[in-house]
């Protein structure tokens, strides 16, 4: 099947006009951004890892008020095994950076409650990162009339996702901004494979559609991903500076013209490996004598406490950025998506 035919088949199956999905960036996916992506013929999304069931329902209602029956994706994190790690070293280090934490809060919403809320919202796609659904959960997703897209970072993970019942795999290259979707958090640094190598490697191994994610910053990258075997792409950083995203002004300014070498992978924000801008805070965790960040979710909760108290050197927001961040513009999201496909369409045979 040709690249164009694969993309057309994917779009027909999922009710799209263009093979572009918004990446479900938790904290940077307001309904307005998702609706703008949908208006251009793509699929909007939200990452709900930090959301209560009420917030999930509210997001879906607001999206539908803006975009009607357009398809959208909701993304869940598969929970890490419980851990009771001592965070004394990390707390002392954050204190040394000038911060004072607010009192510890509760554990947040449970994964099971989030899944119930997501299925009640009836998105076109329920996606996962950091692992796979159980057989019972897959049955529940399909029973709700939703497709399951599993984020993978290796061929082995992709094969496991297909066997588990995934309807598509989101193949995440190491260039991607935000969190690495590696099933085992300890493997994240060791399995950093670029998208150009990863997409054909996975596409040749699975029978389900491949969605390519990582440094899709213009139509050339989109066309390349489809040519290599993808059926669609997932775009995150390219949309962050759009007015509908509403991100922090300082974060947006740092993305402007950012060289690929200006990003780095770090566990400093959450304890899970992720790609972001090499800020002073991120660099502080790499100096001699600095402790390793605490495992997820302890580091995320610590950072949240300092933000709620006196942050000191802690960045007010996570400055996520993929390696194509310098190509992000402040154009409306619908124009960005339309341009991506227009440029790719001109390149595809």
> Along the chain (349 residues), what's the average pLDDT of each consecutive run of 10 residues?
96 98 97 98 97 98 98 96 85 95 89 98 98 98 98 98 98 98 92 96 98 98 98 98 96 96 97 97 97 95 96 96 98 98 97
Looking at residue 316, its pLDDT comes to: 94
Listed in sequence order, the residues at least 6 apart from 90 whose beta carbon sits closer than 8 Å to its beta carbon are 291, 293, 294, 298, 299, 302
Looking at residue 330, its pLDDT comes to: 98
What domains lie within the chain, and their CATH numbers? 3-347 (3.20.20.70)
Tokens read off for 25: 């960036």
Q: What is the pLDDT of residues 125-168, one digit of tens each?
A: 999 999 999 999 999 999 999 999 999 999 999 999 999 999 99
Looking at residue 84, its pLDDT comes to: 74
Looking at residue 304, its pLDDT comes to: 96
Strand order in the sheet with 178-179: 178-179, 274-277, 263-266
**How far, in Å, CA of 346 to CA of 332, rounded?**
22
Tokens read off for 322: 């993929």
């Amino acid at each position: 099947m040709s690249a164009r035919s694969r993309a057309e088949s994917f779009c027909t199956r999922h009710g799209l006009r263009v093979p572009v999905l918004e990446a479900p960036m938790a904290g940077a996916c307001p309904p307005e951004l998702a609706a703008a992506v949908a208006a251009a013929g793509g699929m909007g999304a939200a990452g709900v890892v930090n959301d209560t069931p009420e917030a999930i329902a509210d997001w879906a209602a607001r999206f539908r008020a803006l975009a009607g029956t357009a398809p959208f994706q909701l993304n869940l994190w598969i929970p890490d095994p419980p851990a009771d790690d001592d965070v004394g070293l990390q707390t002392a280090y954050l204190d040394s950076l000038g911060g004072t934490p607010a009192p510890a809060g509760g554990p947040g919403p449970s994964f099971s409650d989030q899944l119930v809320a997501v299925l009640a919202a009836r998105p076109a796609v329920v996606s996962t990162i950091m692992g796979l659904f159980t057989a019972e959960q897959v049955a529940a997703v399909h029973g709700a009339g939703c497709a399951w897209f599993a984020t993978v970072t290796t061929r082995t993970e992709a094969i496991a996702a297909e066997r588990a019942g995934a309807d598509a795999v989101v193949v995440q290259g190491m260039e991607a901004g935000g969190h690495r979707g590696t099933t085992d958090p300890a493997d994240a640094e060791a399995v950093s494979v670029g998208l150009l190598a990863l997409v054909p490697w996975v596409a040749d191994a699975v029978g389900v559609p491949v969605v390519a994610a990582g440094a899709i910053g213009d139509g050339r990258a989109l066309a390349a991903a489809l040519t290599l075997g993808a059926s669609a792409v997932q775009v995150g950083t390219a949309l962050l500076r759009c007015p509908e995203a509403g991100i922090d002004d300082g974060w947006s300014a740092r993305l402007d013209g950012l060289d690929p070498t200006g990003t780095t992978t770090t566990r400093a924000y959450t304890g899970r490996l992720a790609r972001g801008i090499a800020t002073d805070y991120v660099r502080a965790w790499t100096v001699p004598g600095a402790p390793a960040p605490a495992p997820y979710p302890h580091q995320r909760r610590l950072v949240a406490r300092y933000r709620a108290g006196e942050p000191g050197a802690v960045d007010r927001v996570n400055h996520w950025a993929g390696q194509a961040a310098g190509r992000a513009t402040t154009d409306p999201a619908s124009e960005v998506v339309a341009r991506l496909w227009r440029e790719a369409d001109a390149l595809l045979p």
